[in-house]
Amino acid sequence: MNSFKNNLIYKSKYTKPLNPILCSQFYIRTYNTDSNATIEIKSEAQYLDQYDKITLTKGKLKSISILAHKNNMDKKGLKNLLKLKNHKDFINFYENNYIRCCLNFEDKQKKVINLMPLFHYHSLSSINKAITNKDKSGDLQFGSSFYVSTNYSWKYLNFTKFKKGLGKIKLIYSPYSNKKYYLKVSQNIYNTIEILTNTSKLKEFIK
């Protein structure tokens, strides 16, 4: 995985920027990936309110963005992620969710699908623990909550259960929610998540 963006907001004819609200709050560094991991998001309800509408969307993982909260970095005199990775407070930043990630997928029409964990470690670790779980279905250990953008319009999705099959893991919405949707990712996303949930590996990843 090679770094191809600097740590500030970027624009190009090939890649649209992340949500501008997120960009204003974080220093961002984005990396290409040759992973074959895929994602599928689908509404299971025939009709949803417009705010909650999620159409069938499939995409392949194209890049990973690492984000660090600007206000907290500025207080430490840090202006980019390269300085932060070697700073004594790196682990503290990570454990307090000041370092986050965004998985960027792309469908066949070049539409970008962004998947940002609400709680960096717990949301991602739940997926890997479910992948290695011998059971074909069950409860996610921590639960997984994400901000998802299918067209630069962000929505909050919460998952509490999983089902596995044919090399993919399906995250299922909370049974207490009236929002009927699922998110399905290929199980080969495991190695990517291992990097993002391990501070030593994450430090090596940031270049």
What's residue 15's pLDDT? 44
The larger pLDDT score, comparing residue 129 to residue 178, is at 129
Average model confidence (pLDDT) for the chain?
81
What's residue 197's pLDDT? 95
What's residue 21's pLDDT? 58
- Residue whose pair of structure tokens reads 């399905």 in the numeric block: 184
Judged against a pLDDT cut of 50, whether residue 9 lies above it is answered with no
- For 17, 38, 146, 190, 203, the CA distances from 198, given in Å and listed in that order, are 27, 22, 19, 12, 9
Judged against a pLDDT cut of 80, whether residue 145 lies above it is answered with yes
Average pLDDT over residues 148-164: 81
What's residue 118's pLDDT? 87
* Cα Rg of the chain, angstroms: 17
What's residue 57's pLDDT? 74
- d(CA 129, CA 192) in angstroms, rounded, equals 13
pLDDT tens by residue, 24-54: 789 999 999 988 899 888 765 544 454 445 5
The larger pLDDT score, comparing residue 98 to residue 176, is at 98
Average pLDDT over residues 177-196: 85
3-state DSSP assignment of residue 148:
strand
pLDDT tens by residue, 68-83: 999 999 999 999 999 9
Burial 170-205 (b: 16+ CB within 10 A, else e): bbbbeeeeebbbbbbbbbebeebbebbbebeebeeb
What's residue 134's pLDDT? 92
Highest mean pLDDT among 142-151, 172-181, 191-200: 191-200
What's residue 20's pLDDT? 55
At 193, which helix (H) or strand (E)?
A: helix 190-196
In 70-111, beta strands by DSSP E: 99-106
Lowest-confidence range among 7-11, 38-42, 142-146? 7-11
35, amino acid identity: S
- Residue whose pair of structure tokens reads 């964990």 in the numeric block: 117
- How is residue 194 written in tokens? 């291992």
